[in-house]
Each structure stands twice: as C-alpha cells, then as structure tokens.
Structure 1
Amino acid sequence: MYQLTFINQKMSICVNGGTLADASSKAGFPLDLVCGGKGTCGKCSVTIESNGLKRNELACQFEITEDLTIYLDASQFLDQASLLTHHLAPQDVIFNPSISKTHFLHSDMMPETYSDHLKNANAPLLQKFSVIINTTEKDGFTAVYRQSQIIDFQKGDTTDWLFGGAIDIGTTSVVLYVYDLKTGELIQTESALNKQITFGADVITRILSCQEQDTALTEQNNCIRSTINSLLEKCYVNHPHLRDHLYQLILCGNSTMQHLFFKLNPIALGVFPFSNITQNSILTNNVHCGLDLPDFSTIEFLPLLGGFVGADTTAVLLTLPQDEKKYLMIDLGTNGEIAVGNTQQFYTASTACGPALEGANIECGMRASEGAIEKITLANDVISFKVIGDTQPIGLCGSAIVDAVAILRSIEIIDETGYLLTPDEYRKKRPDSQLFSQLTLLETDDVVFYFSNETVPVYISQKDIRQIQLAKSSIYSGCLTLLKECDLVLDDIDALVLAGAFGNFIDIENALAIGLLPLIPKEKIISIGNGAGHGVQLCLLNQHENQRTQSIQSHTKQVNLADSADFMEAYIMNMNFN
C-alpha cells in the first residue's frame, strides 16, 4: 500500500497502485482528462513530491510505486467550472403533469375491482399491492399514477407529496431541475460536471474507451449515475420528503449520453453510418436504473433525432415557437448541433466543434472556472481582460478564445489565412503599435501571443488558431449545408437561435467577425441559454409537450455531414477568416 497526501486538500488516502489519475478520482478529485487518458493533451499535469524532490507528471500516465505528496490546485479537478443552468423565461405552459396520486380507503377498492385498477401491472407491483391491501386498513393507501396507469402504492395518505425532476445530461455538465408536481413550483436547481469527463472531453473519446476497455461502459454508466445521485442528494437535504416521493425523471442528452445512461454499447455510434441502438424515447422505471429514487419511479429519456443529433436537440426544438417562421438553431456545446426549419419540418446535423471552443485542445485552454480569462477587449492599443474570480489568470476559456482570435484578427496580428505574425513582421506592418512586444518567437519557431506572462503564462499559439479555424469552419459550413438541403439562403432565415453554454457566453459580434456564426443581422440573433434544460422541463410540466417530442422526431430529417460533398467543399472554403 502507498500513502498519497493531497497537501492542498488536507487529505490522505492509501492505494495499491494504479495511475495518479485513478487515485485522484478515488480521493474525490477527478481530473480533466481531455484526451481520455492517452497522455496527449497534457491537461492533467500535476506537481508531485517524493524523497524531497518535486516534479511534474501526467497523472493519466504516472504509475504509483511509492508514497507521494501531491500538489493539486483547485482549478485542476472537476468541481470548479461555471455551469449554465438558466434559460429565457419559459413560455406560458399549462400545468398538466403525467404523474398524480389518489388516496383510497379499503372500502374504495373491493376485491371484485382489483383487476380494473391493476390492469397491466407487473409482478413486483402486484406483490407490493398484495402486502398493502392485506396489512393496512385505518389510513388506507395511496396509488401513484402515470396517466391512467398505477405505477406504485404507498401506505397511508401521501397525496400531499409528489415531485418530479427534469435532467439535461450534457457531455460536460449535468443540470437537475426539481418540481413540486402538486403545484408546478420549481423548488431546486442543481448542477455538476459530468463525471464521465475522466474518460475524455468529447463523445468520440468516450466511445473509443468503450471499444478499447472492457470495463469502460460499466464505469461510464456508474459515473453518470453517481453524478445524478449527487445532485439528488443535495436536493434531499433541503426537501426531506423528496427521497420517497420523487416519482418522475425526464432526461435529455446527446445520443452518446443516452447510450451510456442506459448502459447501451455505443461503439456503432463511433463509425459510419453512426447508428443508435434506438432513436425512440425510452421509458422504464428506477429498478433498471439504480438511482436514489423509489424503485417504481418512472424514468424517461426523450427521443433522439438521428446519429449524433440527440434528445437535447429535441428538447431545444420543443422551445421554438410553433409558427411558420424559418429558424436556424445552433447549440454550441461540446458538440455542435444545428437545425433549420420549423415544427412542420426540421433538417438537423451534428458537427464536431466543442472541445476547442470549450478550452480543450488549446494550449492554455481551460473550462470556465476560477482563474480563467473569460472576456478580452481592446482599446487604444491596449488589450485588457476579465478573469473569473478576479484572481490571477491561469488560462483561457472558450468565450475568451473567440475574443482573442477576433481581436488579433482585427489588428492584423492574425492574417486572413490564420497565420500568426512574428514580432518583427508585426512591427514592420504596424510600427505605431506596441503590441508586438506581446508576441514571442519561440526556439521551436512557434509564435505565441501573451495575454499574461506572470506566475502562469497565458497565451494563444499558432496551433491554437488552427484548432479554432477547424471548429469555426465546421459550424459555419454545417449551417450552409443544411440551408442548401432546405433550398434556403441566409436571407430566408427569420431568427438565428443560439442555445447551450458556449452560445450563451460568447460575444456575438466577435463570433460573427471570425466566421463562427453565419452572417445574419445581429438583431435576428437570440441567445436562449440552456434551451435543452428549458425543453425537458416543459416535458415534465405538461404531458402534451412531452408527446409533442414524438411529432418533432417524425418531422425531422437528419443530414449526415460526413457523407456530404457540399459540406466538405464548404468546410475547405470557409477555413480562412473574414
């Protein structure tokens, strides 16, 4: 056994060996393994000490063979990110949940009527009923219904307590909204980073882990269940009745999140033609899901739209007005989902964009947590920035990366091809500017632009800019391809709807300037925040809204961009900056 001392967290644990990343996770400090633990991204570099000597090691690669002291900063593990839970105020929705309760006295339910009430009941529910009906008399019992079907029984009169939850399972974060289903009141919102992040920042990395490791599917399923249970536990502290009376969870998430939640092998999603096990909504009870809920609580995952276009997109589309206007919806998260049309007909597609835009694959990139530069501005030849937590900067989050590229492009430190000028080149081009002093030509011939060069250098490199070009061209070209599929042009679009965390925080003008978003008038662009979270709440509060997701699925056509010559041509043509 080896003793590991997490000096900054004032904790020690003992392990038999394994990687430092595994040990950190066991201690309660899971690291951000952007590359899925392959040792290629360098994001899990940790300072360790043994035999009086300090050194840095990649936690995902370092095997523990001795006692260690570990110097883990709070920004390095997964409890610190700023998570988006809000959205535009919900439209008026008629409160009509599918879950209800009815109290019965024994005299209300006679043996000759048992069959009428228990129609379609499964064996475990019949067993529970047989105990309750034969052991309780004075206070009777309560039947819990989903629509007209009894799903559970409780002793006594519990009709005062009935709750439900709506969950948006994101690749990066998970958000839980808990409602009182007697009144329609939102009683608590909780969010956390998805613990599956230790398997990689993007869905492809997580799918590959299931292909390469026999235990990965089970472990990732455990991760998402653990994440949700931790959110539920926070709610139970404030609302003790929740634990025994939370009878409905409705979930949305992308296709990979659906597979991993239900422990469906996702390997087919990682290869052409990117097939789901099922695109239909999945309705089951908690006996099969293992969450900290009553066994017979109903758990429903909204329908997928095809390939990598998941139920989170279904939920976003549910929030759009039911009119004949033409909408272009872009959900900028770890993956980019795009939709064009309206409720009569949507065309959808998914395109890889998020890891770079959320700080992954960027040398100084990080999530939106304390120490991240979140906003960059330029005035009078001086670049300024705002840091989350008003502390010393240690990296750039996605919104700042967009700002950085847009500003450096506007003053020609970056040219239209994405080339980052050397200090001498920029001094010759702009002799009146002092910003050349923030450019450095490294011994490796790489060029970087420093925003801060204090305790932790924060900069953007040529390689980073190339990553942004790939991401922005992917989104822009995906939009153009879908428009072409619909026989539309940009001028036909009535509104561009931005959903998701990244879409909520970016500077719209800077996103337009670098070609991340199509050139649509700014007054037509609407940021709706966590649209998926909004949509899944509507499904919880009104069963007819939930049923409408089936209609959205049937009226949606998925376009596979990887198989589109139009997309590949546009992708190459739109790589440069405006």
Structure 2
Amino acid sequence: MSYQIYFINQNKKIAVDGGKLFAACELAGFPLNLVCGGNGTCGKCRVRIKGKADENFKEVLACQTEITEDMEICLKESDYRQETVVLTKAAPLNIEFHPSVSKKYVTKDEIIEKMREKNTFFSQTEKVPLSVMQKFSMMNVSLDFTGCTFVYFNDEITAVEEGDTTPYCYGVAADIGTTTAAVYIYNLNTGELIATKSALNKQTAYGADVITRNSCVRDNPEMLQRLRDCVIDTLNELLEEARSEYQDLKENIYHVVLCGNSTMQHLFYGMNPYFLGVNPFANIIKEEVVVTGRETGLCCNPNAVVEFLPLLGGFVGADTTSVLLTLTKKDKIYLMVDLGTNGELAVGTFPKFLAASTACGPALEGGNIACGMRGTNGAIEKVSFKNNQLTYKVIGEGTPQGLCGSAIIDAVAELRKAGLIDETGTLLDPDECRRMNPYSPWIRYLHEAEEYNMAFYFTEGEHPVYISQKDIRQIQMAKSSICSGCLALLEEAGLTLESIDYLVLAGAFGNYIDIDNALSIGLLPPVSREKIISIGNGAGQGVQSFLLDQSYRVRAKNIANNCIHVSLAENKKFMESYIKNMNFSVEESL
C-alpha cells in the first residue's frame, strides 16, 4: 500500500510503501542526523508529524516511527542541512615535487621513426595494458593522426590519448574521515594546488561512529552498498564542484590517493567490515589497495590509478599512516594523538611506531551529548568563566543552537575549576551549590534537564543549550579512553612521559580545543605544555605528500612494515588506567 508524505516547509510530496520515517526523509532529499545509527537513543532525529486523525502535530523519533498512513511532516532546515566546518589546513608540505603520474607527447614522425629502427613500437621491457596497445593501433592508422600522448604511472604506460593532452594532468588527495571528507586537487605538471573542497561524509546519516556503521552493515548486509554509495557520492560531489571551475578536470584526473580509517577503507571498496567489529577484529587487507578509476565510480579518468594508503591494524587505519608520514625526525620520540570521531594513538620514532585505537565515541564531536552539535553556525565553540561571569563564543555569531566539541571540553574544565563538578564527575545541584557558597553566581544556571539529570544552562527559553550530568559522564569515558590509551602505549613501548619529545595533536578536534583545558580535565596525559604541538589536518598533509612525492611511497611502506598494532581491549594497563582516569583528580581543581 502506498502512503503520501507531505513535507510542509519544503512543499514537497512523495509516495512510499511504508517503512521507517527517516527513510522517507532520505528519499525526499532531506537525510536526518542518525548519530546512534537509528537505534532510538540519541534523539537527534526528532521531528514533528501529523497523521489524518491528528488535530495537532506531535514529536516523534523518525528512526523509530513506522509509516502506516498518510502524514504531514514539519521539517526545519536545521533538521537535515548538516553543514560543518571542515579542517583542511595543515603544516606546509616539505617535499620534493616528483609525482607518480606524468605525460609524454609523441608525434607521428617520431612513432614511425622508432618503428623503423626497432621494428616495433613497444619494447619487451615495457609493461603496456592490452587496451592501450589496441587503442594505439587504431589511432596511428587514421589519416588525420598527428601524434598521441602517453600517460605514465611510475614509468609504466597506463593510457594513451590522441593529440597533445600534456597540459592537462591532475591528481587528487582525499582524506575520508568518519564525519567529514576533504579533497585536494593538484596540477601534476606544476605541483600547484588548484582546489580544496570539503563536506560532511554522507555516511553520517547512518551513524556518527564506525562502530554504529559496522553494526548497520552487520545487521543489514544490503546497507553495505548504500554506505559505499554515500562515500563515493560525497567525493564525487566535491570533484564535480571543482569541475565547475576546471572544465577539463574529470577526464584528466589520473591519480587519486586516499586515506581514512579501516572502516572507511572497507566501505569505500565495498568490502564488508564485519570482522573489524567482532573477533578477530581484523581487516580484509592491510596493504595499500590499488585499482582503476573505472572500478571505483569516481569522477576521474577510467584508467586513473586509485590507491588507498596501507592500514596499520584493527581500527588503526590509513589516516594514521598518513599522519605518521609527517613525523620524520629520526632522533625524536613522538606521542601522536589524532582526536576525531575515533581516537588513534601512536608512539615511537620514525618509522617504528606502536599504534592503537580507542573507542572514545562521538562525544568529543558533539554526538551523544544532549545539546551537542558539529562545528557549524550556531554552535558554541568557546566557553569561559571569567570574573564570575559566563562568556561564550558562537560560530557565525548568531543565536546559540548547541555545543560543539571544543566548547564541551571548555565547559567541563570551567565547571571543574569553579567547583561545580567534584572529583567523581558529579555536577552539583542548586542546593549543594548554595550550601558551599550562598552568593555563588552559578546557582541560577543550574536546573534539571530531566528527572535525576542536573544540568548547567548556557541559554534558556524555547531552545535551551546546556550540559548535563549525563553529558559529563560521556566526556569522562571519552577522556579516560584517550589518556589511558596513551599511558598504555607508553608502557608497552618501555617509555615514560618524560621520554617524549613531542606530543602531536592531529585532526580537527585537536586543532580547535584549548590545550590547557584538555590537560586540566585529563583528556591528555600530563606532558609538559611546551612539548605539545598541533599540526591540524595531519592526515591531509600526509596524503598530499604521497600524491606529490614518490619518496613518500617508500616511507609509507616502511611505516606499515615496522608499525606494531596494540589491542587496548586486551591490555591490562589500559583497563586499570581506564577506571582510575574516569575521575577528575583533586589537584586538577586547585
């Protein structure tokens, strides 16, 4: 039976044969934010609907609501337009320009001369695809043939094109994050960066983290193709956006290098990530995967070389490989912390590292937080308690809509310093606050968000913004996971915090947080402040270097061959530290 769904604000009507409401929203072009993967726990897909028999609109969770009748749905733009600020900047590239792809034009006269001299055109030592030889054999018998261009990848011919196409040679470096994706498009003749594009990873409609997406495929195998389509569509839209500025782009992209975590690699290639989520927690393949553009469906030349950097083991993926490519001082010991939707950690000296991942969940990026949101317009990004006054900064300087990750860390740190959170993470209620200080300026900000869930309110009214006791517990688990993972890796490597030369923060979250606040709540281990450096999008920097400089191919293999993956789930030190580091130490509030 078919049902009519009318989207009032968008003036759009569609027909569906039942199913969940969130699927109808996606079909209509309004995908909702299913942070929990449709399990009904995050509340981020709450919308207002009205059935035939209803007088008024009612709020429902779209992921839990079955369509059994015609209905009207009232969607706000913010319900489905999930824009975000994507970090694309990183440290300047320190490379020699020597790309893997090049072009060479050969005239008809040069071809004839070589064939006369050698009695053949392609020599025995050249590896030439049959398709290239077939195309070349048809070209050079044409009466108007004047010459052709050969495309080389690492000195091997991959394609042939009629005429002189040497001015057009592009490459793409792509960083596929769990939450966002960024592409860097280069002219491979000159090394010039001609475009940088970024967007939300469309897979976020099916869960905020890789665990949720793995479960999505495990429970519904048909979702594998949909999740693959999501990431391919995300990249293609970015490439098409750049194509509007460079009309000759698509057919002249000959090299695409990608990095991302292990789940992103599996889903990009349409490989089921089932065993990443269950014992033995293994990848289908760790080595770099090299295919053609034709096999991926990307907007590039069909003969383009598309390769994903090698994984390091378990959930430690090619994005970590890419970050480690940038840490090349062989006399320095690095502790690398990539703070994103998932936490990747590494310790060691290039190219020998110990690496691990830690399931800190999406809380640090606003997921599983009542008023959490991504870093976009309306998000509070900075919080400060100065002179007993609450101040905050909003992205876009408009009305606050929620808290992004950096503000959440600030809020917990400031509440802790103000004595409103005790060492166990308990948020005081107004009576307790009043007993401690009858004149406290913070009493008026403390109210229950729901029964047995005390909260500190930054704004009130129809759409209040607050951080609650439940939110603080989420942050405690996330911060303990990161800090405990670092300590466990150091012990595994036989190192101490004093041994570290640099604690390197990579990723968008690490770029925007207040490092002092992160230290104060125990998100980062207590390393000397002067040793901590933020490199921005280190994964983006590494994958661009790989595209532009062939020597990075050797470096990537050295890292993959020398890196040891550590499973924190089986690490005794991690489990002991995790429980201990859940609390906030008494010293932190002094």
- Answer yes or no: same fold by TM over 0.5: yes
Aligned to 1:108: 110
Aligned to 1:227: 234
Aligned to 2:100: 98
Which amino acid in 1 is paired with 2:98?
Answer: N
Which amino acid in 1 is paired with 2:428?
Answer: L
Aligned to 2:417: 410
Are residues 348 and 426 of structure 1, via their aligned partners in 2, closer, same or farther at CA, if it must alter by over 3 Å?
Answer: same
Which one of 165, 169, 173 corresponds to residue 166 of structure 1?
173
The C-alpha deviation readout for 1:129-154, integer Å capped at 9, x for no partner, is 33333336533111111011111111
CA distance in structure 1 between the partners assigned to 2:121 and 2:185 by the alignment: 33
The C-alpha deviation readout for 1:553-577, integer Å capped at 9, x for no partner, is 1121111101101110111111111
Are residues 131 and 455 of structure 1, via their aligned partners in 2, closer, same or farther at CA, if it must alter by over 3 Å?
Answer: farther
Which amino acid in 2 is paired with 1:39?
Answer: G
CA distance in structure 2 between the partners assigned to 1:30 and 1:530 by the alignment: 27
The 3-state SS of whatever aligns with 2:72 is strand
Aligned to 1:34: 35
Aligned to 2:187: 180
C-alpha displacement of 1:209: 1.3
Using the TM superposition, name which of 234-243 and 81-90 deviates more. Answer: 81-90
CA distance in structure 2 between the partners assigned to 1:133 and 1:563 by the alignment: 63
Which one of 81, 86, 89 corresponds to residue 89 of structure 2?
86
Q: How many residues align?
A: 577
The 3-state SS of whatever aligns with 1:166 is strand
Which amino acid in 1 is paired with 2:568?
Answer: L
C-alpha displacement of 1:482: 0.7
The C-alpha deviation readout for 1:154-208, integer Å capped at 9, x for no partner, is 1111001100000000011110000000110000010111111122111111111
Structure 1 residues 58-457: aligned runs within 5 Å: 58-91=61-94, 93-110=95-112, 112-116=119-123, 119-135=126-142, 137-441=144-448, 444-457=451-464
CA distance in structure 2 between the partners assigned to 1:7 and 1:377 by the alignment: 40
CA distance in structure 2 between the partners assigned to 1:293 and 1:258 by the alignment: 19
Are residues 522 and 39 of structure 1, via their aligned partners in 2, closer, same or farther at CA, if it must alter by over 3 Å?
Answer: same
| Identity over aligned pairs, percent | 51
The answer as to whether partners of 1:139 and 1:157 remain within 8 angstroms in 2 is: no
C-alpha displacement of 1:47: 1.9
The answer as to whether partners of 1:106 and 1:140 remain within 8 angstroms in 2 is: yes
Using the TM superposition, name which of 82-91 and 165-174 deviates more. Answer: 82-91
Structure 1 residues 454-465: aligned runs within 5 Å: 454-465=461-472
The 3-state SS of whatever aligns with 1:135 is coil
The C-alpha deviation readout for 1:265-284, integer Å capped at 9, x for no partner, is 11010013310111101111
User: Aligned Cα RMSD in Å?
Assistant: 1.7
The C-alpha deviation readout for 1:294-341, integer Å capped at 9, x for no partner, is 110110100111111100001101111333111111000011001111
C-alpha displacement of 1:449: 1.3
> Where does structure 1 differ by over 6 angstroms across 4 or more consecutive aligned residues?
none
Gaps of 5+ in 1: none
CA distance in structure 1 between the partners assigned to 2:82 and 2:476 by the alignment: 30
Structure 1 residues 537-548: aligned runs within 5 Å: 537-548=544-555
Are residues 78 and 108 of structure 1, via their aligned partners in 2, closer, same or farther at CA, if it must alter by over 3 Å?
Answer: farther
Which amino acid in 1 is paired with 2:569?
Answer: A
CA distance in structure 1 between the partners assigned to 2:179 and 2:559 by the alignment: 25
CA distance in structure 2 between the partners assigned to 1:22 and 1:246 by the alignment: 35
CA distance in structure 1 between the partners assigned to 2:125 and 2:34 by the alignment: 49
CA distance in structure 2 between the partners assigned to 1:58 and 1:463 by the alignment: 20
TM-score by length of 2: 0.94
Aligned to 1:535: 542
Gaps of 5+ in 2: 586-590
C-alpha displacement of 1:17: 3.3
The answer as to whether partners of 1:105 and 1:137 remain within 8 angstroms in 2 is: no
The 3-state SS of whatever aligns with 2:523 is coil
